Structure 1
Amino acid sequence: MEQIVNLDSVAQYNAIRGVETLHPLVSVMDLNGLHPMGTRRYHFNLYAIYLKELKCGEMRYGRNLYDYQEGTLVFIAPGQMLQIERRPDAPASPKGWALVFHPDLIKGTPLGRHMPDYSFFSYDANEALHLSEKERQIVVDCFVKIQYELGHAIDKHSKTLITSNIELLLNYCLRFYDRQFITRDDAHQGVLEKFESLLNNYFNSGKARENGLPAVGWCAGQLNLSANYFSDLIRKETGKSAHEHIQARVIDLAKEKMYDDSKSVSEIAYELGFKYPQHFTRLFKQRVGSTPNEYRTLN
């Protein structure tokens, strides 16, 4: 059976890399000259951000290789599994930067409260962040600032300054991903149209009555995207989340079905994938401003 290494602490990760632990909850390192991670699977109970500057190995998330090249950021969240596969032509020493921090570091901080906003920690293998040279320099500057704080004697300001700089780095990454959604348009071309077609086929085929409303995760999987990346991409395209988009499609279909007097509101609800008609009535009133029966009477 393949060996799995559980990374539970910053000190454990530092030991693998061969660096001193300056802070028990966070570490940042220039990878040049450090020990490479061995060829095995790693289960992270830490947050990790990698800036890859050289193809020194392959990272596999799930069944897919990370879509990375020189100047690419990779994000790992607690609970995720990463597999390292050494390339035969890989140099002895990796090149790039790594930031790892324990979830306890950000508890009770502004960063901890906003961590769910950084959805790219759950993006899939083919959705890494590709940086321009100017963006790469900004990222490296953030790493250097955190490194400076770790070299400073720990005092009452340390936690605030370290977490603030991590938050600054992640906010820049939000901006860079917004740019990538635009500049990598070829990779995203037609996603919205495919999404619309997927929903149409789902409802027209009767799958909704059998399987319920289509979930965002299911739609993303059909389009070979992670749920978070898919949702963020749809929001950039339409201003609405994928969930809101699905609800809007359901309401449009419901309005059409209301003109068929032979069907009761309950029958329409079941056809659209609702398990309970009252849930359909509640959503309809929220989105339309009237109940299904009121809408049917008015029209």
Structure 2
Amino acid sequence: MELRRFETINDYNVFNNNETLHPLVSVVDISKASPRQASNMYFGFYTIFLKQVNCGDLRYGRHTYDYQEGTLVFIAPGQLITVENKGETYQPKGTALIFHPDLIHGTSLGRHMQDYTFFGYQSNEALHVSERERKIVLDCFSKIEYELDHAIDKHSKKLIVDNIELFLNYCVRFYERQFITRDNVHTGILEGFENLLNDYFQTDKAQRLGLPSVAWCASELNLSPNYFGDLVKKETGQSAQDYIQAKVIEVAKEKIFGPNKTVNEIAYELGFKYPQHFSRFFKDRVGQSPNKYRMLHDN
């Protein structure tokens, strides 16, 4: 399958038959593009697709998402995606907001870009917007387009970046709404997370693999680490890492009162490479060393 690399904003504009009005940002009318077939695409800039019709299966990471009307997909610089359409030619439609990292250097958005964790989500974790939300998205895009059509002046960059930031903040709100409306699905994920950790410590996985990481748990649950972390935070009020560490402490306390277990043996069974690391970890979270905790609570 052909690989298309888009290093600059102009590269993508030309591909979609759009004019380049600014070298670092563009609102792209994808319906102007010529009919195309499946391809791999590499993006050297931030890309947000607002898809309005079914136009191929988008794949990045291990998952495919057959995106329909009113779906936003976020792609970070350096990501490779695949559009699969079973060998058929299709006419792409929709709108894309693309902007180069150089545009936001030194701005408030540039300093907080890492907070928009949905750029690390997988395609099957896309944002599904309502018709009302879609209108807000298009209004944000329209304001950016207005500035691009306007003669560039000293206000242009700030207004463009401010409107991108406004759009992304709306997306944070929309994702929070999506977490709530998909609560039944997410409840199953949290149960899966708990079962995954229980299995991890009830078998020899911890001894073989070490302490479970957030990325490993997310992968086992077929989620991206960012989406998984945001979901756990939203549902439990604590980070996925804190959730895992709380489970480690829970299991450690059970093992401390098990028959004939030394602290060193418990440390290795839990996946700690060095017993002293376990002792420090336990004391930091419980307030007592494992031995003192055993002595004070052993009946």
Corresponding residue of 2:189: 191
For structure 2, the 5+ residue unaligned runs are: none
Distance (whole Å) between structure 2 residues aligned to residue 90 and residue 5 of structure 1 = 16
Partner deviation per Cα, 1:139-190 (whole Å, 9 max, x = no partner): 1111011111111222222222111111111111111111111112343341
TM-score (norm 1): 0.93
SS of match in other structure, 2:32: coil
Amino acid at match of 1:284: F
Q: Which residue of 178, 181, 188 maps to 2:179?
A: 181
2:235 alignment partner in structure 1: 237
Alignment partners' CA distance in 1, 2:63 and 2:168: 24
Alpha-carbon distance in structure 1 between the residues aligned to 2:289 and 2:154: 57
Name 1:217's counterpart in structure 2.
215
**Structure 1 CA distance for aligned equivalents of residues 32 and 85 of structure 2:** 16
**Number of the residue aligned with 1:130:** 128
Alignment partners' CA distance in 2, 1:56 and 1:265: 58
Within the candidate set 200, 204, 215, 1:206 is matched to: 204
Q: Work out the CA distance in 1 between the residues paired with 2:280 and 2:148.
A: 53
Q: Does 1:113 align with 2:120?
A: no
CA separation of 1:187 and 1:261: change in aligned 2, threshold 3 A: closer
Conserved in 2, the CA contact under 8 Å of 1:67 and 1:128? no
Q: Which residue of 2 aligns with 1:30?
A: 29
Change in CA separation of 1:140 and 1:260 when aligned onto 2, cut-off 3 Å: same
Paired residues for 1:207-286 under 5 Å: 207-260=205-258, 262-286=260-284
Displacement after TM superposition at 1:125 (Å): 2.1
Give the match for residue 289 of structure 2: 291
1:77 is aligned to 2:84? no
Deviates more, 1:191-200 or 1:179-188: 179-188
* Paired residues of 2:36 and 2:90 also in contact (CA < 8 A): no
| Separation in structure 2 between the aligned mates of residue 292 and residue 257 of structure 1, nearest angstrom | 10
Q: Distance in 2 between matches of 1:6 and 1:38?
A: 15
- Partner of 1:175: helix, strand, or coil? helix
Aligned pair count reads 297
**Hey, what's the Cα distance between the residues in 1 that align with 2:188 and 2:38?**
37
Whether contact under 8 Å (1:29, 1:147) holds in the other structure is no
- How does 1:50-69 map onto structure 2 within 5 Å? 50-69=49-68
Give the aligned residue type for 1:23: H
Matches within 5 A, 1:94-105: 94-105=92-103
Deviation at 1:36, TM superposition (A): 5.1
For residues 120 and 101 of structure 2, the distance between their equivalents in structure 1, rounded to whole angstroms, comes to 15
Per the TM alignment, residue 89 of structure 1 is displaced from its structure 2 partner at its CA by 7.8
After TM superposition, the structure 1 stretch with the greater mean CA deviation from structure 2, 282-291 or 174-183, is 282-291
Moved more, 172-181 or 185-194: 185-194
Q: TM-score, normalised by structure 2?
A: 0.93
